[in-house]
Amino acid sequence: MDEIYDVTIIGAGPTGLFAAFYAGLREMRTKIIEALPEPGGQLAVLYPEKLIYDVPGHAKILAKDLVKQLMEQLHLFEPTFVFGQRSDILQRQVVGTEEVWRLGTVEAPHYSRTVIITAGIGAFVPNKLDRPGTNEFEGNGVFYFVKDKRQFRGKKLLIIGGGDTAVDWCLNLKDWAKEITLIHRRDEFRAHEASLAHLRASEIPIHTFWELKRIHGEDRVRGVTIYESRTGEERDLEVDAVLINIGFKAALGPIESWGLEMHGPRHIRTDGFMETNLPGVFAAGDIAAVDGGEPLNLIVTGFGQAAIAANAARRRIDPKARLFPGHSSELRL
């Protein structure tokens, strides 16, 4: 841990993994620190079985497969991974004759010439729904995440929510589950327009202004009672599982105390080279807000910012280095 790396990346989501790949292209010694026990970030935790349609070169790809391919790509350069450790501190420290960044924890410090923060939305936990039966059956018929969609094969499923996750799971599972019903407490959806259009063109029943009242069952989920919030009308549905997608809480945690200039409560302000107000500290992906623009939380945007940050970090270490490394097709890997 007392070794000095050229660049340390905080967060092993897709942006962080691609930043590590690009750092390898620039022949930088790279370390990745991830609080979760595995790489992938939101892709691994929130929706590993979800199809992603906006990654260039892939008509569609499962989130978990994208993580796998990103890992295969960057292992060409053999970066150092540290899983299950949160970065609590970020401060300057002299090591030997060199002033570098110290990060990690008090007990387990890491030293780096540059840092790229790709922490996404920070730590996240799902918003829970407090209704009779939700706590009792959580993990046994009531789910907030889908780690393996095989558990829904041939089942009658109730999905709750109106955002991208709820709508995407309706579409992803419609040929998998026996029957799907979607309820949403409003008639306005936050999901992507194209996904919502596909949902409305499907045979999945969509009930707006309906909410969950209770879940029925003994050894497993047997059914639910839903109600119309405006009239109070109640209806019983026979279901085998309930998937609750009503958003999640996110927090940047210790990052907020590092002295970084922020853009609103959730984003780190950067210049066009993805560098923050702290020299040698960069940010990319969902956590970054570039001066003169607004955050656009897309995987493809994170990839582009990761490449910029890695190249700018190389030039920060060696001012004589070119920002543009040349095309990868010209390299011998």
Token look-up 């020299």 returns 279
Per residue of the chain (333 residues), what is the pLDDT tens digit? 579 999 999 999 999 999 999 999 999 999 999 988 889 988 887 778 788 988 999 999 999 999 999 999 999 999 999 998 989 999 999 998 899 999 988 888 999 999 999 998 776 678 999 999 999 999 999 999 887 888 999 999 999 999 988 999 999 999 999 999 999 999 999 988 988 999 999 999 999 999 999 999 999 999 999 999 999 999 999 999 999 999 887 778 899 999 999 998 889 999 999 999 999 999 999 999 999 998 888 999 999 999 999 999 999 999 999 998 877 766 666
State pTM to two decimals: 0.78
Query: What was the pLDDT predicted at 110?
Result: 96
Query: What was the pLDDT predicted at 225?
Result: 98
Sign of CA dihedral 81, 45, 264, 309: positive
Domain limits, CATH 3.50.50.60, in the chain: 4-124+249-330, 128-246
Would you put residue 150 in left (φ > 0), alpha (ψ -120 to 50) or beta? alpha
Query: What was the pLDDT predicted at 331?
Result: 64
Taking alpha carbons only, the member of 131, 113, 62, 101 closest to residue 316 is 113
**313 CB burial (10 A radius; 0-12, 13-18, 19+):** buried
8 Å CB contact between 258 and 243: no
Structure tokens at 196: 């919502």
Spell out the CATH class of 4-124+249-330. alpha beta
Q: Any residues with CB less than 8 A from the CB of 282 and at least 6 apart, and which?
A: 114, 115, 116, 117, 270, 273, 274, 275, 276, 309, 312, 313
The CATH number of 128-246, from 3.90.650.10, 3.40.50.2000, 3.40.50.2300, 3.50.50.60, is 3.50.50.60
Query: What was the pLDDT predicted at 186?
Result: 95
Which one-letter amino acid corresponds to residue 84? G
Query: What was the pLDDT predicted at 176?
Result: 92
User: 164-173 and 193-201 helices cross at what angle (nearest 10)?
Assistant: 40
CA distance 70 to 236: 45
**222 CB burial (10 A radius; 0-12, 13-18, 19+):** middle
